[in-house]
Amino acid sequence: MRLRSNIAALILVAATTGLWAQTTVLSLEECLSMGNASSARLRSGEASVAESEGRLAEARFRAIPSISLSASYARLSDIEAGTITATNPVTGDPVATVSLGEPILNSAALRLSIQQPVFTGFRIRSATEQAQALLYASLDDRDRVEQSVAAAIEDAYWSATGAREASAAFAEYVEQARRHLKDAENMLEQGLGTRNDVLKAKMRLSGAETRSMEAETALVAARMRLNLLIGLAWDAATDTRAISGSGAPGEPASDDRGVDGLLLDGLSRRPELAAARSRLSAGEAAIRAARAALYPSVFLTGDVSLADPNQRFFPQVAEFNATWSVGVLVAMDVGGIPAATAQAEQYSARLRREQAALASAADTVTQEIVSAYLSRERARQQSLDAESYLALAEDGMRTTRELYEAGVALDSDAADAEATLLAARLQLVNARIAERKASAALRYAVGDRSPGAE
């Protein structure tokens, strides 16, 4: 209990400190922009996209010719000069000995080689398709993170807005309780009231101040959460804009697409479903790439050599000479076929798992959309009911105030009317905030990232 009191005191100190700084009023769009700029999760998503782009570029580069340039030099050991001895074909006796020249002790070479893949069993094309699909999946994952960050920020924004409205309502209720206490004390001095009336007024004031303190603490906590989500210091002096309009805000009527329309949009636009579909495409490409080992690979080859001495010249001379060659290379790893077959089966099993996961995710999205739709409709109705209840409470408050000032109604009647008015105001605030949150939840469930109306 003491720890909770200390935490509340710390939050209130932060709120008091913030009063000395100029309060910055932020719109929902500004909060979303600041949150996107400061989110570590989004930076991680951007890094994943960059990694996937690099993987795709690497896969595409495998289709271009492989060019290599090499240079070498060697100092050779000294050997005797080579000779050829001519013999008499009849007697077999040596006739003459011919020297082939002094040995060449220095060897240098410069070689340029090129190898162009012609057919690789569709390995290169499949790898490129796989990398492309994984890039799409990374982009969808980034969008999913962006939606998650935006949803958290919007929820915190409306929570802070509702907490501020509730705090203002309780502050006004405290002022009303103070006026009642003053009236009770004046009536006691005039002999028209009792000490019991004063005690009741003091108790109402104490209870109102306690609830106001709790509302202020909740406001500071809500602002702290919003500040941290948008990259500010936890005790930054920020505020949200007031709720616009006198009616329940929510989504415009043109957005009432019905459950079927929302499901159609959601199942086609939700980023996690799009990412899952992209990973299915990547899995299919991975299977094709694994099966490429069942085919031979064909390459066009060529090279240009500049060597001293050049081995293709006879007799060898200590000078640079250039030669070239062009050919076709056919290769197949026969021993790797069993492993490639097993790898293809492994990828096929993984693909079936991803297909099942996609179906399960689609069911989850369907449930989220339907639940969010029902929550929004319920919140809209509750907002309308809260407006009607507030209108009745305001009428009752005006009537009771007139009777109280005329000396017909009791102080307790006025206090009850004010408590009813406070409850009606809080109910409307909570209903409006709940409607905004429900509308936001429905937008994100459908895959729409645009913020709602303020």
Q: What is the DSSP string of 189-207?
A: HTTSS-HHHHHHHHHHHHH
Residue 272 pLDDT exceeds 90: yes
Whether the ω angle into residue 252 lies within 30 degrees of 0, i.e. cis, is no
- Measured CA to CA, the distance from residue 415 to residue 173 in angstroms comes to 10
Mean pLDDT calculated for residue range 247-269: 70
Beta strand pairing call for 321-331 and 106-119? unpaired
- Separation between Cα atoms, residue 195 and residue 450, nearest integer Å: 59
Closest by CA to 111, choosing from 320, 420, 373, 384, is: 320
Q: In what helix (H) or strand (E) does residue 412 lie, and over which residues does it extend?
A: helix 411-446
Rounded average pLDDT over 177-188: 83
CA-CA distances (angstroms) from residue 140 to 37, 262, 304? 18, 20, 47
Mean pLDDT on 271-279: 95
Which two tokens mark 37? Answer: 């700029």
Separation CA 414–CA 419 (nearest Å): 9
Distance CA 179, CA 444 (A): 46
Q: Judge if pTM exceeds 0.85.
A: no
Name the token pair of 352.
């079936």
Question: What's the pLDDT score for residue 242?
Answer: 82
Strands 24-26 and 238-240: parallel
Q: Where are the chain's structural domains?
A: 129-290+336-454
Q: What would the pLDDT profile of 9-47 be if each residue is shown by its tens digit?
A: 555 555 555 544 588 899 999 999 999 999 999 999 999
Count the neighbouring beta carbons within 10 Å of the beta carbon of residue 337: 12
Query: How many residues in total does the chain contain?
Result: 454
Cβ–Cβ under 8 Å, residues 160 and 222: yes
Residue of 101 and 242 predicted with greater confidence:
242
Q: Return the amino acid letter for 111.
A: R
Name the pLDDT band for 248 (thresholds 50, 70, 90): very low
- Could you read off the pLDDT of 376-404 as tens digits, one per residue? 999 999 999 999 999 999 999 899 888 87
* Angle between helix 195-229 and helix 2-18 axes, rounded to 10 deg: 70
- What is the predicted pLDDT for the residue at 253? 41
* Helix 411-446 vs helix 195-229: crossing angle, to nearest 10: 20
pLDDT of the residue at 20: 47
Q: What is the dihedral of CA 398, 215, 219, 441, to 10 degrees?
A: -80
pLDDT at 409: 76
Domain 129-290+336-454 falls under CATH 1.20.1600.10: yes
Residue 250's pLDDT is 40
Residues 49-97 have pLDDT tens digits of 999 999 999 999 999 999 999 999 999 888 877 777 777 777 777 777 7
Give the pLDDT confidence score for residue 33 in this predicted structure.
92
AA letter at 104: I
Cα–Cα distance list, 322 to 310, 313, 318 (Å): 8, 10, 13
Pick the closest to residue 36 from 150, 139, 154, 160 (CA basis).
150
Q: What is the mean pLDDT of residues 213-233?
A: 94
Give CA separation, 246 vs 165, 231, 387, in Å.
14, 32, 9
Residues 6+ apart with CB under 8 A from 132: 56
Q: How confident is the model at residue 454 (pLDDT cuts 50, 70, 90)?
A: low
According to the model, what pLDDT value does residue 200 have? 84
